[in-house]
């Protein structure tokens, strides 16, 4: 469907196997995502969705061994020694991650937490970022990001005093300021009520206009808002990979069939 | 056998009863042995002594600086005039000395606590479990902090007076050594309470190590460190009032003087000064600590 382009894919995984404690968490022969795509990863708990996302975000997988080739934004991320520290930082700045484990900084205001997203911007003098004395234009941008998610009034509040849903929105605003070309979102609306879900989905859709978005989704109702392509995982393997338009509900339900784990394990 | 058949909560209750019984036995043993040795007595005239002391206590000596007799005559038994003194002048001079001693006490507490913080910081960094210092260093730092905490300021003071001589230096060093143990443990705990998720999140935006430090570590650890420092400082102002007892300078020297000479009026003045100093500093420090929380 997609015509071959000269540009390399944003994400390329080949013959990747992740093992931990004698268990295979992930076994992917080939998986590629091209610039501008919006991909959703679906599957039951333990299917390997979060492992896949953590691998792409180069987050530590405690006690896991990784084999194969993982390439993100043109850089090999399966071999930590291949990149210098500065190259790693430059790469992290280009990958925006929205995950449960990536907390907001307690004691800092919501606004200061949003501004954390802009720390790697080239024009920002180091001393300003150390003292948290940001240029007015940047502060205005952060405030606008919060206002867009309905949090203008909470901008000055410390984040430990915000509700779970408000925190998730602050994390989305932080992601917005990062302006990353690749976005990885693990259940971006898990803690949100319906109204907030709509706001966050709209913001993610807006961010994805200028970026590639890979998200982990549990709720099939969210698929239309987040993805054109759906990748089903079971027992660490890709079971299907197809456009959302031709996906049927039966296929999605089959993913959560407990018997599938046994099939994939063999 | 019996324990094994009982359900958990019942066993816990039985354990608590046993604990209370053991405690009661211990208290009885302490009291009985003291009484048997004849050491549990209130002296020969406790009541008279109490009333006499109270009478003198109720007239703190500082009042003499304004209301004392200007011509106090000391006479021998046969009526010969030995000496005349102006109580107001004598007391005013003593109060000036008291002011200096109070300042010395404050100096000892302040410099001692600062010294403790400087000593404690590297030890805390080594001892904090989440920073994963090489284990021999980490264990050594933890044991050293335990040891410093176990030895009382007064004991350090006694040893140091023998080494650096009488005066405030011994007091400052004594406080620095003992409080380093306390502060080091508190600092290590505040480093351990750092939110790793927040540190990871800041790093994930491509921040430099210094940015990670100033954005995620500094804001969490600094207010706690300042608060702990104030708390220990507060504590040391109380502690340094008695350091003078062993010759380490400050109010304690005047206290031991007043007690040795049975000058209860002066002791009353001293106690008033100690209370005012400690209460005022506690109030100030508590206000700052609440503002930081």
Residues 185-224 of B with CB under 8 A from A: 195, 197-198, 200-208, 210-211, 214-216, 219-220, 223
Interchain CB contact of B33 with A (< 8 Å): no
Q: What tokens does A27 get?
A: 């076994």
Whether the pLDDT of residue A200 is over 70: the answer is yes
CB-based contacts of B288: which residues, under 8 Å, 6+ apart? B226, B230
Mean pLDDT score across all residues of chain A:
87
Residue B259 is predicted with a pLDDT of 87
Higher pLDDT, A145 or B69: A145
pLDDT at B32: 93
- The whole-angstrom distance between B199's CA and the closest CA on chain A is 8
Per-residue pLDDT at B8 exceeds 80: no
Which residues are within 8 A (CB) of A13 and not within 5 positions of it... i.e. 6 or more apart? A28, A30, A31, A32, A55, A68, A69, A70, A71
How far, in Å, CA of B233 to CA of B114, rounded? Answer: 8
Selected residue with higher pLDDT from B204 and A258 = B204
* pLDDT surpasses 80 at A124: yes
Judge whether A65 and A20 are in contact, CB under 8 Å: yes
pTM: 0.74
C-alpha dihedral sign at A93, A98, A102, A104? positive
Please compute the mean of the pLDDT values over residues B40-64 and round it to a whole number.
85
Q: For a pLDDT cut of 90, what percent of chain B falls above it? A: 48
**Higher pLDDT, residue B163 or A255:** B163
pLDDT in tens, A68-122: 899 899 888 887 777 888 888 889 999 999 988 788 998 899 999 999 999 999 8
Q: Which chain B residues are Cβ-neighbours of A106 within 8 angstroms? A: 195, 198, 220
- The residue with greater pLDDT, B149 or A77, is B149
Q: b/e string for B113-122 if b means 16 or more Cβ within 10 A?
A: bbbbbebbbe
- What are the pLDDT digits (tens) for B75-105? 888 888 888 888 888 888 999 999 999 999 9
How many contacts, defined by CB atoms under 8 Å, are there between A and B?
80
Residue in A closest to B222 by C-alpha: A107
- Phi (first) and psi of residue B287, to 5 degrees: -60, -45
- Two structure tokens written together for A215: 């998200």
Q: Is the pLDDT of residue B41 over 50?
A: yes
Cα–Cα distance between A85 and B66 in angstroms, integer? Answer: 74
CA atoms within 13 A on the CB side of A193: 5
A241, two tokens: 């990979």
CA distance B112 to A74: 57
Q: Are A97 and B202 a contacting pair at CB < 8 A?
A: no
Name the packing angle between helices B264-292 and B251-260 (round to 10°). Answer: 150
Provide the CB-side half-sphere exposure for A144 (13 A, CA): 8
Distance in angstroms (rounded) separating the CA atoms of residues A25 and A32: 19
Measured distance CA(B154)–CA(B112) in Å, rounded = 13
Which of residues A238 and A247 earns the better pLDDT score? A238
Angle (CA) A113 A95 A93, round 5°: 60
Q: What is the pLDDT of residue A266?
A: 42
Comparison of pLDDT for B137 and A23, the residue scoring more = B137
Task: Work out the average pLDDT over B138-156.
Answer: 95
Angle at B172 between CA B171 and CA B177, to 5 degrees: 100
Tens digits of residue pLDDT in B223-267: 899 999 999 999 999 888 888 888 877 888 899 888 888 888 899
pLDDT above 60 (res B2): no
CB atoms A108 and B219 under 8 Å:
yes
Q: What is the average per-residue pLDDT within B3-26? A: 85
Chain B environment of A101 (Cβ under 8 Å): 197, 200
Gap from B286 CA to chain A (nearest CA, Å): 19
Q: pLDDT per residue over B165-218, tens digit each?
A: 888 999 999 999 999 999 999 999 998 988 888 888 998 999 988 899 899 888
For an interface test with B, give the residue of A105, A108, A145, A162 to mutate (most B CBs within 10 A). A105
Give the mutation candidate from B132, B194, B198, B204 for the A interface (greatest A CB count, under 10 A). Answer: B204
Is some CB atom of chain B closer than 8 A to the CB atom of A117? Answer: yes
Q: What angle do CA A242, A248, A252 make, to 5 degrees?
A: 80
Helices (H), A27-155: 49-56, 85-94, 110-115, 126-131, 136-148
Burial (CB < 10 A; 0-12, 13-18, 19+), residue B81, is: exposed
Q: Across all residues in chain B, what is the average pLDDT?
A: 89
Whether pLDDT at A63 is above 80 = no
* A72: helix, strand or coil: strand
Domains located in chain A, CATH noted: 11-265 (3.40.50.300)
Q: What share of chain B has pLDDT > 70, as a percent?
A: 98
> What number is the ipTM of this complex?
0.85
A215-229, B68-82, B130-144: least confident range: B68-82
Structure confidence at residue B293 (pLDDT): 77
A208/B contact by beta carbon, under 8 A:
no
In the DSSP assignment, the letter for residue A30 is E
* β-bridge partners, A214: A39, A184
């Amino acid at each position: 469907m997609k015509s071959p382009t000269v540009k390399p894919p944003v994400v390329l995984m080949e013959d990747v196997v992740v093992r931990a404690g004698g268990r295979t968490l992930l076994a992917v022969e080939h998986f590629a995502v091209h610039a501008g795509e919006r991909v959703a990863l679906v599957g039951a708990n333990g299917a390997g969705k979060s492992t896949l996302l953590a691998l792409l975000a180069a987050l530590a997988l405690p006690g896991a061994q990784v084999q194969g080739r993982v390439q993100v934004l043109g850089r090999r991320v399966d071999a930590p020694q291949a990149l210098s520290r500065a190259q790693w930082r430059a790469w992290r700045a280009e990958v925006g991650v929205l995950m449960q484990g990536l907390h907001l900084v307690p004691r800092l205001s919501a606004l200061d937490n949003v501004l954390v997203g802009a720390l790697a911007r080239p024009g920002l003098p180091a001393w300003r970022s150390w003292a948290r004395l940001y240029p007015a234009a940047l502060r205005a941008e952060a405030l606008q990001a919060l206002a867009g998610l309905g949090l203008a009034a909470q901008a000055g509040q410390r984040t430990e005093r915000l509700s779970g849903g408000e925190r998730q929105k602050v994390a989305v605003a932080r992601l917005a300021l990062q302006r990353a070309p690749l976005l990885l979102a693990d259940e971006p609306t898990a803690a949100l009520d319906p109204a907030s879900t709509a706001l966050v989905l709209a913001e993610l859709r807006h961010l994805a206009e200028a970026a590639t978005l890979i998200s982990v989704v549990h709720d099939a109702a969210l698929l239309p808002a987040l993805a054109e392509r759906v990748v089903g995982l079971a027992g660490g393997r890709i079971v299907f990979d197809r456009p959302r338009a031709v996906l049927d509900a039966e296929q999605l339900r089959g993913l959560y069939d407990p018997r599938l784990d046994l099939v994939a394990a063999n | 056998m019996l324990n094994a058949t009982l359900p958990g909560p019942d066993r816990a209750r039985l354990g608590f009863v046993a604990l209370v019984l053991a405690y009661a036995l211990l208290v009885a043993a302490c009291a009985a042995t003291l009484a048997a040795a004849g050491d549990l007595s209130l002296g020969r005239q406790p009541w008279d002594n109490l009333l006499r002391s109270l009478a003198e206590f109720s007239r703190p000596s500082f009042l003499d600086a304004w209301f004392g007799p200007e011509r106090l005559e000391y006479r021998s038994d046969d009526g010969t005039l030995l000496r005349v003194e102006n109580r107001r002048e004598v007391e005013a001079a003593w109060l000036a000395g008291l002011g200096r001693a109070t300042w010395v006490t404050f100096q000892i507490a302040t410099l001692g606590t600062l010294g403790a913080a400087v000593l404690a910081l590297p030890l805390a960094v080594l001892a904090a479990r989440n920073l994963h210092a090489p284990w021999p260093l980490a264990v050594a730092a933890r044991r050293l902090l335990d040891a410093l905490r176990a030895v009382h300021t007064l004991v350090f003071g006694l040893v140091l007076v023998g080494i650096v001589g009488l005066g405030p230096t011994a007091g400052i060093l004594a406080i620095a050594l003992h409080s380093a143990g306390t502060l080091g443990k508190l600092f290590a705990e505040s480093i351990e309470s750092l939110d790793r998720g927040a540190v990871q999140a800041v790093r994930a935006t491509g921040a430099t190590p210094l940015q990670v430090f100033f954005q995620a570590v500094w804001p969490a650890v600094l207010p706690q460190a300042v608060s702990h420092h104030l708390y220990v400082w507060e504590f040391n102002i109380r502690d340094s009032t008695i350091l003078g007892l062993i010759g380490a300078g400050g109010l304690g020297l005047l206290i031991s003087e007043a007690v040795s000479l049975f000058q209860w009026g002066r002791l009353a003045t001293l106690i008033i000064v100690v209370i005012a100093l400690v209460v005022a500093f506690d109030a100030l420090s508590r206000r700052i600590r609440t503002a930081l929380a």
